[in-house]
Structure 1
C-alpha cells in the first residue's frame, strides 16, 4: 500500500534564496528520490496550514511495525531520504481513515531516522562575506551523492567526498554533519588557516574528542602550502582505534590534487565555482577571473580522481559561465553534463544568476538511468 507524505519546508534565513526554495526543493527531490529509490514518486508543491510543503505521492505507507533487524526497510529508507533533503523541517504522512467518519484525512508526524551527526552550528555559526547559503550547500552534497553509484555511502559514512575549491569549509562542515570523512583543497592560505581556527574552536567548545594538526604540504621537495588533518570521534576508545571521522584540507591549487590524492578514489565532487564577479580565481600559476578557464585547467585532474561511478554537482554563475561552454569543457575531460541549462536556476543578487551543473563520468555504470532522470526533470525546472 502507498500513501502521501508532506515534507514541510524549513524557512530560509536568506530572503532571496527563499523565493526559489520551493522550486529548488522539488528539483532536488526529483533527483535524490529518483536515484535512490529507482523511480520518481509524483511530486508537487502545496501549502498546509500556511506552511509550504512538498507533496510526495507513491511513498510507502507508514506502519507501526518495525523493520526486521539489520534491514532498513522500504519505509525507513524513504524516511532517511526525506529527512536528508536540504530544506526538510519535518514530514507528515497523510492517513486515510474512511471508516472513522472523518471528512478530511488525518496528518501523522513521521519519525525520521537520524541523518546528521553534529549540531547545526557547525554549519551556521561561521559568517563571512561570500559564504554560500547552508541549504544550498546541503542540496549540492545531496545531488552529487545521488549521482554516485555508491550513493548509499551518504548514510553509512563511506561516501568519499571532495570539494576541490573548499574556501572556508562550508561543504566540508556539511559532510562532517552527515558522518562523512571529506577532503578539501583551497589555495588561499588565509582561508585554510581561518577554517582550521574555526574548526578547532568548535571542537573544543562542543567537547568533541579529536586531534587537529597542521603540517607542510610538499611534493617532490616543493612546498605547496599547508595540510590540515583532523580526526573526531564520540569517545576516546573510538578515537584511539582510528575509527573516527577524518577531515583533510590541502592548502594548494586545485590543479595539484592529482599529485596528492589517489586516482579513482572519489565518489562525489562538490564545488562552488568562482563567480568571476568580485574575486579572482586561481588557475595554474596565474590568477584568472574566468571561471571557464579554471574549469578548463582543473577538470582533467578532477576526472582522474573520480571513480567511474562518481557524481559531480557544480554551482555556477550563468552570467560568467555559459552552460554550453562548460558542458564542452567537461566533455573534453571525460565528463557528461546531465542537467539542462537553467534546471536549478535562481537569483542570488544582481550580478549572480546561479545554476547547478550535474555531471558524471562518461563511462558511469548507471549513465542511462540517470539520463532518464534528467529527461524527466523538465516539469520541475524553476
Structure 2
C-alpha cells in the first residue's frame, strides 16, 4: 500500500536564490531519499493552499519512521503532514538527530558565509553517498570539510551529533571560529574544553590543531554523548600527512569561487578553483573510504564542469551529477552548482549513478 507524505517548504528557504528553491530541494530529496531508501520512493513538487511543498509517495518496502526522519532533515523542510485517504492532512512529528539549538548555525554572520540551508543540503548529499550513510542519523558518520573557513559546515555537523574535522590555511578564519565556538559554548553553559597546539609533522611546522570537546551537560557526558570538533590550520593538500588514510565517510567543501573567495596554498592565495582541485583532490581521495561520498559547491563562472570532472577523475573519483544538476544564481558573479562524486571503486557506484537520471523525471 502506498503512503503519501507532504513536506512543506520553509518560506525563507534559500532566500538568496528564491527562484531555484523548489528545484534544489526536489533534487536534494531525490538524491537523499533514493540513496537511503531505494527505488520505493517517488517525489514531486506540489502547491497546497498557496504553500510550496514536496509530495512523497512511498511503497510498502519503505520504513515509515526512517522516511519521516530523512524528510525532516531536508534543508528546507518546514513541516510534515501525512496525506490521508480522503485528502486531509495529518500533522507528523518526526524524530530528529539534531542535538543542539539552531543558533549554532545561524547566529554567526560575515561576508561570504555560505547559506545555512545550502550547507545542510551539501551535508545531506555527501552523507547519502556513503555506505555508512546511516551514521548521519546516529552521530557516527565521519565528516571532513577540507576548506572549512569559519565553520558553517562544522556547526551543522555538530548539531547532527557528529564529531567533524575541518581544515583551513587562513589563520584568521581558524581563530575566528575558535572564538565563536568558545563564546557559544559558554553562553549556552555547555560542558567543554578547547585547546590549541602546534601542528608538526616530522619536525616541520604545518600550522595549528584546535580540539574542542563538548556536551550539553554532565548527564550527556556520562551517557557517551560528548562530541569533538577538530580544526586543522594547514594547507588542505597536506591533510594526508595529518589524518589517517581511508578514515572519512563524507567530504563537504565550498570551493573558492575565484571572485569573492580565495584559497591559500603553494605560498600564497590561490583564486583558481581548478588549481585548488588539482592540488587537493588526490589528498581528499586518500582520506575518503572506498564507500565514501563528496559534495562540492562550485562557481560555474570559474570552474567548468568537464574540467572539474577530469581533475576528480585523475584523483580516482567519479562525478555522478550532470552539469547544472543543482544550478542556481547567488549573485551576478556566482552561478553556483554542486558536484557529487564518489571513489571510482565505490561498491554502490552503479546504483548511485542511476539516481542522476531521476532528476529529469516529472512524476504525476
1:193–1:240 CA distance, 2 compared to 1 (3 A): farther
**Structure 2 equivalent of residue 65 of structure 1:** none
Distance 1:25 1:173 in 2: 21
Q: Which runs of 5+ in 2 are unaligned?
A: none
Query: Residue 171 of structure 1: which of 153, 159, 168 is its match?
Result: 153
2:211 pairs with 1:229: yes
Conserved? CA contact 2:169–2:235, under 8 Å: yes
Q: How far is the alpha carbon of 1:279 from its aligned partner?
A: 3.2
Once the two structures are superposed, the pairs formed by residues 246-265 of structure 1 within 5 Å of their partners are: 246-265=228-247
Give the TM-score, by structure 2 length.
Answer: 0.96
Query: Residue 361 of structure 1: which of 343, 351, 357 is its match?
Result: 343
**Structure 1 equivalent of residue 27 of structure 2:** 27
2:122 pairs with 1:140: yes
Q: Give a deviation string over 1:140-181, Cα, whole Å, max 9, x none.
A: 000000000100000111100000000000000000001100
Q: How far is the alpha carbon of 1:41 from its aligned partner?
A: 1.9
1:328–1:87 CA distance, 2 compared to 1 (3 A): same
2:312 pairs with 1:330: yes
Distance 1:205 1:49 in 2: 41
Distance 1:362 1:40 in 2: 26
Q: Give a deviation string over 1:17-61, Cα, whole Å, max 9, x none.
A: 222111100000000000000115222111112211011122569
2:279 pairs with 1:297: yes
RMSD: 1.7
**Structure 2 equivalent of residue 113 of structure 1:** 95
**Structure 2 equivalent of residue 80 of structure 1:** 69
Give the TM-score, by structure 1 length.
Answer: 0.91
Bigger Rg, structure 1 or 2: 1
Q: Which runs of 5+ in 1 are unaligned?
A: 62-72, 98-104
Conserved? CA contact 1:282–1:294, under 8 Å: no
**Structure 2 equivalent of residue 274 of structure 1:** 256
Conserved? CA contact 2:189–2:216, under 8 Å: no
Conserved? CA contact 2:112–2:261, under 8 Å: no
Distance 1:40 1:136 in 2: 26
Q: Give a deviation string over 1:214-244, Cα, whole Å, max 9, x none.
A: 1111112222222110111233255378751
Distance 1:31 1:57 in 2: 15
More deviation, 157-166/74-83: 74-83
